[in-house]
Structure 1
């Protein structure tokens, strides 16, 4: 009898342990449960990917690998941000299915996985191809998970499936071509500027200048500089070359400037000459930049060590402010990097590059 009671007690204990074990597994954190990789073979194909298409918001970004670099095929093969492209492919290969979501198309928009070509869609269709034009991955990327306490995740849907998924992982992707290239072109603070001349389409010219770098205010040539409106215009012009950024890009060979274009030339105290040819086309502002050196200018703090070429690139990308490269190397680097392209620039930069005090009053009528 005693042995029978012990047996029953042992069985009850075993049942409790099994039940607790099952309950623990059911409530275990999802990190302890194996998740299926969304694209199992992609991790082994990362170096084989040569084409990427991103469609959404009425635009298509076409990225293509040329040798060891990536270019924006949809922007005349302008160099793309290599690290950003590679990071996107790696992160895409690392996406894991966390759970299934809705299969109702009417609810897709809530998760951002609707057809990218549908009206007001926020989704992006990403397609990766290998050298043999083989599709390595295709996915509709939606909204990120909105839970602050959870691991990074986003909603996705495979184009040939109706069921949306919650995927664990991150995906930094954009349908804006400008997000895939280096938008910072150069940065020449107004303190460095010696003079700026603007030649307008009508043929007239406006110039501002400083005799010495230590001077605070610029002076206009040929008109009074005491007029408050003219002072505002001069300040705007003097800062026109600061933090120059691009919103779009076209190859120079594929772009035609209209006859009414405006040319702005800025010269620094150490001899760098920057010329911007600008125009507004279809309500968008464009500029082509060329660079030269004034041989008569001298610099007391000219740097000529072996690190100069490398530091020049950082300085004019706005990555450092404590280095002043030699103007000859500045001009060479900027010419090689920028002069074969026409950039769409922000409207406020176009206004600064083309400001005209003559639109306020005729020069002879501007009074103190």
Structure 2
């Protein structure tokens, strides 16, 4: 029977640990699972909660840091130094696996030794609310050559994975190495693209593989639109720089991703511009206290779009933003089109698994 090593890094999330550990042990029938909780010097008593769990179940181990090492070093310690199962999972202490998720992923990986990692849909839910019931009946699976999966990523300029829904072949994890400390906010995006450069990618259709918890402490909450765009562009550039020789036509991939990022930057600039016009209006002064928008936000986003794709200057929305004039019907249509695609990519399961 194939085995699964689950690494659960924890910093001040001790109150979530019971749910997280139970989800990968009690809700995964027929799977050989071991769990390592790594407490990164939490001051909230998380390590005590972890040790209580381990005392009740021999499948659980605890590693406690005396000083805080940060998330990337903690991830890599568990995945590269401890994980020795056939497959491995990295799951934050505030997330959960859905019932049967590990068995479903194991079955695909067992059947397709060329697949380096497998994922499915991740259900997002707000902390304090009961998540919806997970879909657990597989409608089938897809196996994508790594090159083909990567091209989808470059076309969409987007990370389709949140992380807890991924099960990785441990031998591939050890081959490609750990998370990149140079990318503290985008290391997950880079590592999955790195893996796809060395193996195929599996997707489980019709099922929910993990629960991703939304709460005020989530890292993504502090990321602005420009920061997100810049981080994503850096990841794609690094992938092309480091693994370009393994990819087909890297120049075309670069053009695809930069054009898409330019469109997203322009759409974001349009939103900032529109909010600013509302703030300057009589209604806006009542709603927002009369504060003016930060013009630098628009200028920086437009400059980013220009840098990615110089031909963005031909678009009517670009010209309207440069003149600081009103956005007409054509410009608003552009924004709505971009917004629809952005929303689908982030929320729609079809864009997660094609």
TM-score (norm 1): 0.21
Larger relative contact order (Cα-Cα within 8 Å, sequence gap ≥ 6)? 2
Structure holding more helix per residue: 2
TM-score (norm 2): 0.21
